[in-house]
Structure 1
Amino acid sequence: MQSLKAAGAALLAWAVAGWWWDAPMALMAPWTALFLVQSTIYRSLLSALQQLTVVVVGTLLAALAGVLTHNTVAAMALALPLTVLLGNYARFGTQGLYAPTAALFVLASGSYTGPDIAHRFLETLLGAVIGIGVNALVFPPVHSRRVRDLRAQLPLSSAELLHTVADGVAGGYDEEQARGWYDRAQRLTDVVTDLREARRWSDESYRVNPGLRLRRRAAPTPPTATWDFVWDQITEHIATTIRTLAEPARRPGLAPNARDALAALLRAAGDVCRSGEHTHIAGPCSPGDVEQVQDFRRSLARASAAHRRLTAACTGRHPGLASTTGGLLADTRRLLSALLRIAGPEAVLASGPFARRHADQSADG
């Protein structure tokens, strides 16, 4: 779509410039319009400001070099190094390339008079107006789909990984399996990074976008950035827990009842993640979300109960294993504390006293 819009803007600019100035070979207007149909309207405006600046400076430098040397080759030797240096200035971004290009247009035409220079400036301005106008009025770009896709992927991938680890803990696993789990956990943190980048891109596409009020929202607005922060913590604690399980010293340190409790905890935590896909932070639930919220709370209660059994199995009858299993208990407690934040304080109050105790322990550090 962006390519078609850019081509259409260039053709429109060429037609308008040719009709207005009776100059069918005018290049500055379509050239400017072509490169100002950017991925967001805000980026189009920013690029227009940058391009107008570099085109004006590049054109003036080329005209000055032509007047001083009266020779095209000598003028190029004088103007091009200066415009290339200007184009490398970081504030101009990718638009800096057009400073030497504008200088080449002027020197190749061999016209340095005031009216000719003013004509080029007006062409550039016309192209900028047409490029921005086409981008803003013809299917204004809004980039929210990737945010929704990643937002849906993260809970499901987390749930799938936790269920896989739970099955492995219950049936026995080796070091190679644990390393594979940890690699998958690291990829979850990469998804969070991608989500942050996609949200920045989406937020930019909503800036100075006149077409937003004309759009029908096909999907609900994605949660705020607080959701990203919560899932950043969850994926980090999942990775930490799996790293603890991958350590050779941890595997023989779990008694059968502790292993069963850990498997139940991880499986319930996976159910919390899956239910949390439909649960918004600290927001009122629509009638269609009531069942998902109830599933979330039941899964959270099962995870809390399993953590209590794991604590009793590791410290009640086997005090000698405390040094081995203490890290695992702390990792899973932090994971549950992060899961509690998915649905806000309401989930803590509804999930029983053990869940509230986890929240208190997390607050105490």
Structure 2
Amino acid sequence: MPGRLPVPAIRRAHRLVGGFRHRRPRQLAYGIKALTAALLAWALAGPAAPEGRAYVAVATALLMVNASTVYRSVTNALQSIAAKVVGLVLALMTVRLLGPTAGAIAVIALLTVLAGPRRTSDGRLQVASTAVVALAAMAGDPMGGLVSPVLQTLAGAVVGIAVNALVLPPLHVDDSDSAVRTLAHAVGELLHDMGTGLARGELRSKAPGWLHRGRQLEKHLAFTQEQVRQADESLRWNARCVTHGSHDVTYGELFSALRGVSLQVRGIARTLADNAYDHPDRHLGLQFLERYAETLQLAGTAVRSLVDDLRTETDPADPHERLRTAIEGALAWHETLTDLIGQGTLTKPGAWHVYGSLMTDVERLLADLDYAGAHRT
């Protein structure tokens, strides 16, 4: 009908509205903090600014108050102040030698771009921009043009840090928790799916998909590592962290365990994918695959138990007990498989390297789960 939006457009609109509603409290807090910092910086640095217009102080305060953590706002402030001081001194020297001319701008650009390693390019560009902007102000009053921006920068940095630290200082514990849970679910589901597929005899058809999902775990690992790092950083110098329990700082250890498990899962997926199309004499025996499948399923349950409360009406056991039971069950299957391989019951000619790779990966996986489970109880 004319005038009606298509269904995909309506769904996208609903998602946007839902996302806005979810982020609204956080965005409102950021807005209040930014407005507070801007007004305080303008009032504090006004006497030191030309005609009371403390634009540099306001800009610096906004940068500091919008830092992702209190610790980051302090380090950013120190870097910003150092860059501005160097830029202003550089501008003063070039004005004294060359005057406010195009030659002074060329000298500033050459010195800041060519000096220092490439990794400090952001700081050097800040030095250059500060020096160029200061040329006009310092042309008529060199000392006034040098002192006022420095005082404004100091005032803005102090205000921005204070507001960021005292008015709802940012914490990223929930984001870290969510990222770790998502990673654990991805790893646990892949283990469970590999075990289910092996039990159903779907190795050849499902192995490429398992390998693809194993490779995709790298993206989950990189994202989760950044979230955990930011969460740990947000707890530094943060008054709000005293209201949170000690369990909020254990995501680093849990992530380290999950990273080790992820590496072993990817190795298992790689070996299974290679074996699916390998020489017939190197195919794994059905008895081995059946037992290995159950080991993977138990391991998948153990991984999910690290982050989920798996209590149900039929199984009301504590999640830590279920984790311990799942790991012990997987270890028992591992010992059984090792004994059968040692006796030559499950082996085929030419398949020793495949058995060895799979057993080594699952042994390391279970060791990481055992360590993580012991530290979560």
Question: Normalized against structure 1, the TM-score is what?
Answer: 0.78
1:298 to 313, 320, 325: 325
Count matched residues: 335
| Whole-angstrom distance in 2 between the partners of 1:51 and 1:6 | 18
1:332–1:127 Cα change, 3 Å: closer
Match of 1:360 in 2: none
1:51 to 64, 80, 84: 80
1:255–1:71 Cα change, 3 Å: closer
| Whole-angstrom distance in 2 between the partners of 1:231 and 1:325 | 24
Is 1:238 matched up with 2:265?
yes
Q: How far off its partner does 1:61 sit?
A: 2.2
| Whole-angstrom distance in 2 between the partners of 1:72 and 1:264 | 77
1:90–1:212 Cα change, 3 Å: farther
Asked if the contact 1:58/1:83 (under 8 Å) is kept, the reply is no
Report 1:1-365 matches (<5 A).
1=27, 4=31, 5-18=33-46, 23-37=51-65, 38-85=67-114, 94-109=122-137, 110-175=139-204, 177-213=206-242, 216-217=243-244, 220-223=247-250, 225-247=252-274, 248-249=277-278, 253-277=283-307, 291-311=318-338, 314=341, 315-318=343-346, 320-321=348-349, 323=352, 325-344=355-374
Asked if the contact 2:113/2:125 (under 8 Å) is kept, the reply is yes
| Whole-angstrom distance in 2 between the partners of 1:318 and 1:102 | 72
Tell me the amino acid that sits aligned with residue 208 of structure 1: W
| Whole-angstrom distance in 2 between the partners of 1:83 and 1:112 | 24
1:262–1:116 Cα change, 3 Å: closer
| Whole-angstrom distance in 1 between the partners of 2:375 and 2:163 | 47
Tell me the amino acid that sits aligned with residue 81 of structure 2: L
Asked if the contact 2:48/2:151 (under 8 Å) is kept, the reply is no
| Whole-angstrom distance in 1 between the partners of 2:346 and 2:144 | 92
| Whole-angstrom distance in 1 between the partners of 2:34 and 2:112 | 26
Runs of 5+ consecutive residues of structure 2 not aligned to the other structure:
1-26, 310-315
| Whole-angstrom distance in 1 between the partners of 2:154 and 2:191 | 57
1:243–1:45 Cα change, 3 Å: same
Match of 1:354 in 2: none
1:47–1:166 Cα change, 3 Å: same
Question: Normalized against structure 2, the TM-score is what?
Answer: 0.76
Q: How far off its partner does 1:335 sit?
A: 2.7
Match of 1:359 in 2: none
Where 2:169 maps in the other structure, the secondary structure is: coil
Tell me the amino acid that sits aligned with residue 367 of structure 2: S
Runs of 5+ consecutive residues of structure 1 not aligned to the other structure:
280-288, 348-365
1:186–1:199 Cα change, 3 Å: same
1:304-356 deviation digits (Å, cap 9, x = unpaired): 33334434555443554562534333333333333322223999xxxxxxxxx
Where 1:341 maps in the other structure, the secondary structure is: helix
Q: How far off its partner does 1:165 sit?
A: 0.8
1:70–1:291 Cα change, 3 Å: closer
| Whole-angstrom distance in 2 between the partners of 1:250 and 1:154 | 34
Asked if the contact 1:50/1:92 (under 8 Å) is kept, the reply is no
Asked if the contact 2:64/2:161 (under 8 Å) is kept, the reply is yes
Output the aligned Cα RMSD: 3.3
Match of 2:8 in 1: none
1:11–1:98 Cα change, 3 Å: farther
| Greater alpha carbon shift after TM alignment, 301-310 vs 54-63 | 301-310
| Whole-angstrom distance in 2 between the partners of 1:193 and 1:236 | 13
Q: How far off its partner does 1:169 sit?
A: 0.7
Tell me the amino acid that sits aligned with residue 264 of structure 2: H
Match of 2:12 in 1: none
Match of 2:13 in 1: none
| Whole-angstrom distance in 1 between the partners of 2:148 and 2:48 | 11
Tell me the amino acid that sits aligned with residue 32 of structure 1: T
| Whole-angstrom distance in 1 between the partners of 2:63 and 2:100 | 31
1:167–1:206 Cα change, 3 Å: same
